[in-house]
Structure 1
Amino acid sequence: MRQAAQNPARDPAGVQAEDPGEGAEPPCREPEPRRGRPRSAAVERAILDAVVELLETGETLDGLSIERIARTAGVGKATIYRRWSGKEELFVDVLRDIEPADPVVSGTAGLDDLRIMLESMRTRSVAQRSSALLHNVFVQMKKHPKLWTEYQSTVLGPRRAAMLAAVQRAVEAGELRDDLDVELVNDLFLGPMLVRTVHRPDAALPEDLADRIIATLLQGLAPRPAKPQVTAGEPTTAPV
């Protein structure tokens, strides 16, 4: 079994000070928010790393228990439960940790911020296709309704809200028409990227995909007016 002392990132002294052990009564302290400032970043890092290590060895989400995660991380179960209410919340944070980070956007731009977020979707999908771990975790997660609901509400929901806000800013800045349903416009930008990244895993994900989606929607899908036909011998300008 891998001991915490063998990993420099997992400070035994820090773990001992943080964790009184599974059987001991933790000392009284003021209640803290679950995801507030970590009591020990090294301990939290050890827990996340332990889950990834177990998944990389072929463990399934069903097969993982808080007890085994704690043992692998070199902490007590109480330490994990002080940070996460259960496996669902822990697994969502593990997935956040191994996924590419969400992009930083200005929060004031419209189409520019939207382009950054669409590109982030593309790069996350590229990472998922190239990482067996990410792919397997997503496949397993979708089989667990409670876990998938937690991921949707805490990760996908905020991402969609951020995109919707960017579309609204684009409307207010005059970059998009103001007579359309903003929710529908947001779905029109999001839809093509979702099809390529989720529903068509074999589809190409070129680096200019976000730009092409935005340009196509701005130009519209209606055919361009046909140029007037000029027959031989006819004047090309109207008579004066």
Structure 2
Amino acid sequence: MSLADSRPRPCTTPTRGRPRSEAVEQAIIEGVMQLLEEGVSLAELSIERIARTAGVGKATIYRRWSGKEELFVDVMRAAEPEDPELPGTSMRDDLVVLLEALRRRGLVSRSSAILHNVHAQMKSSPKIWAAYHASVITPRRNLGLEVLRRGQRNGELRADVDLELVNDMFVGPMLTRSVLRPDADLPEGLAEQIVDAVLEGLRPVSSPDL
């Protein structure tokens, strides 16, 4: 996925005054990626250096982000595939779409050495990792939980299961394949395989005829 196709999604709320420019935001995000690709570590990144690379003033950056931590989170989001649109036809269909998105993210991360290194650097910074977790990971997890809640209400999922645990049961195998086992295959159809295998033991059981 090229950064030219990515759309930055800043975390901060727009301030009053000068209107925001997507072109300027894109230039700033691409400037950060350029520095990272040149081997500049996260610790060495500075707003001044980013501004110089992007061809903008420091004030332009600060009008959009409070600091490099928030900017860095948006850089990571822009480098990933966009969140999927759920079909809403059934719990199974929605789960397959969510896991397929995780599979594709795994493929993107594997094909980009810079993203792999940046993820590692990000985890070494508690502040940036917390911001990434709050703005990226938590919303995705909440989306999965909502799909499961809807499945329970619709009778597609047993009512006695712990949804937090069930969510981990669906997501865990894909994360293991894509993150913990980078040498493992991520073939097409893996999302369907995982969802169907887990659902086999979680669907409501019909009462036997007396």
Scaled to the shorter chain, the TM-score interval is 0.7 to 0.9
Q: Give structure 1 regions of 4+ aligned residues with deviation exceeding 6 angstroms.
A: none
Q: In the alignment, which residue of structure 2 is the partner of 1:33?
A: 13
**Which has the higher relative contact order, 1 or 2, with Cα contacts under 8 A spaced 6 or more apart?**
2
The residue correspondences of 1:1-240 to structure 2 (distance < 5 A) are 33-34=13-14, 39-106=20-87, 109-220=90-201
Contact 2:15–2:63 (CA under 8 A) maintained in structure 1: no
Contact 1:108 1:169 in 2 (8 A): no
Per-residue CA shift, 1:99-127, capped at 9, x if unaligned?
Answer: 11111114574221111011100110111
Using a 3 Å threshold, how does the CA distance of structure 1 residues 62 and 136 change in structure 2: closer, same or farther?
same
Q: Distance in 1 between matches of 2:170 and 2:120?
A: 25
1:212 offset after TM fit, Å? 1.0
1:17 equivalent in structure 2: none
Secondary structure at the aligned position of 2:44 is classed as coil
Contact 2:65 2:71 (8 Å CA) reproduced: yes
How far residue 34 of structure 1 moved from its aligned partner, in angstroms, is 3.5
**Shift, 1:85, TM fit:** 0.8
Structure with the higher fraction of residues in helix conformation? 2
The separation in 2 between residues aligned to 1:179 and 1:147, in whole angstroms, is 37
In the other structure, the counterpart of 1:231 is: none
- Which digits, 9 at most, give the CA deviation of each residue in 1:115-151, with x for residues without a partner? 1011100110111011112111111111111111110
Aligned-partner SS, 1:174: coil
| Runs of at least 5 residues in structure 2 that lack an aligned partner in the other structure | 5-11, 203-210
Q: TM-score normalised to the size of structure 2?
A: 0.84
Number of aligned pairs? 191
**More deviation, 153-162/165-174:** 165-174
| 1:218 Cα deviation after fit | 2.1
> TM-score normalised to the size of structure 1?
0.74
* Runs of 5+ consecutive residues of structure 1 not aligned to the other structure: 1-8, 10-31, 222-240
Q: Counterpart of 2:124 in structure 1: which amino acid?
A: K
How far off is 1:35 after superposition? 8.0
- In 2, Cα distance between the equivalents of 1:35 and 1:49? 22
- The aligned residue for residue 207 of structure 2 is none
